[in-house]
Amino acid sequence: MADTLDLQDIQGLIIRGYGNLKAACYILLEISTPPPAKIWLSALADTIATGQTGQGEKALNVAFTYAGIKKLGLEPKILAMFSNEFINGMAIPHRSLLLGDVEESSPEQWMWGGSGTRPIDMVLMLFAVDDRELSDVYNTYAKTFTANGLTEVLKLDTVDLGNKEHFGFHDGVSQPVMEGSPQTETPMNTIKAGEFLLGYPNEYGLYTDRPTIKPAMDPKSLLPRDSSGSGNADLGRNGSYLVFRQLRQDVRGFWQFSDEATKNPDGSSNPTARIKLASQMVGRWPSGAPLLKTPQQDDQQLADANDFAYYQSDPCGYNCPIGAHVRRANPRDSLDPQPGSEQSIAVGKRHRILRRGREYGPPVDPAELLTVKKPNAEDQDRGLHFLCLNANISRQFEFIQHTWINNPHFDELYDDADPIVGTHYPDGGTFTMQAKPVRKRVTGLPRFVSVVGGAYFFMPGIRAIRYLANPTRAGLAPALVMPEKETKR
């Protein structure tokens, strides 16, 4: 029987994406003086939107980097129980190689989160029905920062593009649903709560590593108890790891490349072929219709279609290329050891994430970029604030990024990284379109998406936030237990 979700203790962003709240911003903060910051945080806990909160006109959520959690005064042995990925951070050299954060995407070039930038301890995420309401909410909190030991490092704004992203494609079609949450989905897209929330069984039937402590260290019983039955206080329960990456999109480069690669023999543009190539790289048409179901032309009626499997109907990639972005990011039933089976789907369920991102920067009509070949005022900074939630950063986000997105040999391909968000080195990437009697290939793909900032955060449960903010924690004896280790298969 599934463990009932503690919706009142789970931060709302984990349960829903606030689709009704069109305006949002992310405030990156440094904890300059911890004692007043903890008092501020204690008061903030009462205003945080939870999974039980109704659809109001505004919402607030908060998450912390390892440096921020450390400043709040947790004992070293408790800190050591967080995941290694969270502790070491996103910007260390070997992780940059793993994630493909090299060259222009190197942390040395980042605007925030890199080694040469100001420390980030916390992100305050604000959501509202419109920009005016959001501005009022932001100003209300911004006035409190300095007096409470907080320094605003950067304010990251967002833009509402409806259901589109900057390249012009329908976004957010395919999302998993957490078992026990208010939403429902097909069995293939319904995932155990423990894949996204700490303190619940995951797809292995185990509890992912998390900080748990002896009850003596929680004399006020602020924390929930470990549901696995140890009797310990569970600092991790109802929390999740938040991956935050600011991704800059080269909209001009994407569409001009697609145009050049599909020109007619006389050098004239072929709009139909241009859109088809772009759609093959994405794996869906601009409307969102999957190429698997309609490989030759867009079909608005299939814009939200998501109940399909690749191996059963398109094992060779003749409809949707094997290396297309959406096929790599979620291979569905195409995974070894038994593609097309329930076992294959079960493997995929261990590598899913909840996406909660928002676009930033002014919208632009891609068609207009083709009329002017050189950068101009239309080439303002624009892209995606990529946010995703997972209980195991290594097995979920990092696995997807390294093994599926950036892997040039994904599913027996020869030299194809993800054509949309993959890392393409100076000589350019390759994209293969499987076909009969012979496949087609385009070469020289530049990098269309680059990373300009990022960090790993921990989004605690509400009770854990109150524990972190509690000034009476200090001085308690370090009576600790180590969590059960998660076994990987």
**Secondary element (H or E) of residue 249:** strand 240-249
Pairwise CA distance, residues 78 & 324, whole Å? 42
Cis peptide before 446 (omega within 30 of 0): no
89: Cα separation from own chain's centroid: 15
Give the up-direction half-sphere exposure of residue 464: CA atoms within 13 A in the CB hemisphere. 30
Q: 202 with 391: CB under 8 angstroms? A: yes
Q: 10 Å Cβ neighbour count for 426?
A: 7
- Tokens matching residue 60: 């607030």
Reported in sequence order, the residue ranges of 54-149 that DSSP labels E, i.e. its strands, are 58-64, 122-128
Q: 190 with 394: CB under 8 angstroms? A: no
Q: 278 with 170: CB under 8 angstroms? A: no
Q: 235 with 476: CB under 8 angstroms? A: no
Single pTM value for the model: 0.94
Q: 107 with 114: CB under 8 angstroms? A: yes
> Coil, helix or strand for 48?
coil
Q: 128 with 4: CB under 8 angstroms? A: no
Pairwise CA distance, residues 403 & 409, whole Å? 9
- DSSP tag of 462: H
Pairwise CA distance, residues 317 & 4, whole Å? 40
> Coil, helix or strand for 390?
strand
Pairwise CA distance, residues 331 & 179, whole Å? 20
> Coil, helix or strand for 349?
helix
CA-based end-to-end distance of the chain:
23
- Phi, psi angles (nearest 5°) of residue 350: -85, 0
- Tell which residue, 40, 47, 48, 52, has the closest CA to residue 16: 52
Pairwise CA distance, residues 61 & 149, whole Å? 19
Per-residue pLDDT in tens (0 to 9) along the chain, 489 residues: 457 999 999 999 999 999 999 999 999 999 999 999 999 999 999 999 999 987 789 999 999 999 999 999 999 999 999 999 999 999 999 999 999 999 999 999 999 999 889 999 999 999 999 999 999 999 999 999 999 999 999 999 999 999 999 999 999 888 999 999 988 888 999 999 999 999 999 999 999 999 999 999 999 999 999 998 889 999 999 999 999 999 999 999 999 999 999 999 999 999 999 999 999 999 999 999 999 999 999 999 999 999 999 998 999 999 999 999 999 999 999 998 899 999 999 999 999 999 999 999 999 988 788 876 666 655 689 999 999 999 999 999 999 999 999 999 999 998 999 999 998 877 889 999 999 999 999 999 999 999 999 999 999 999 999 999 987 654 333 333 333 444 333
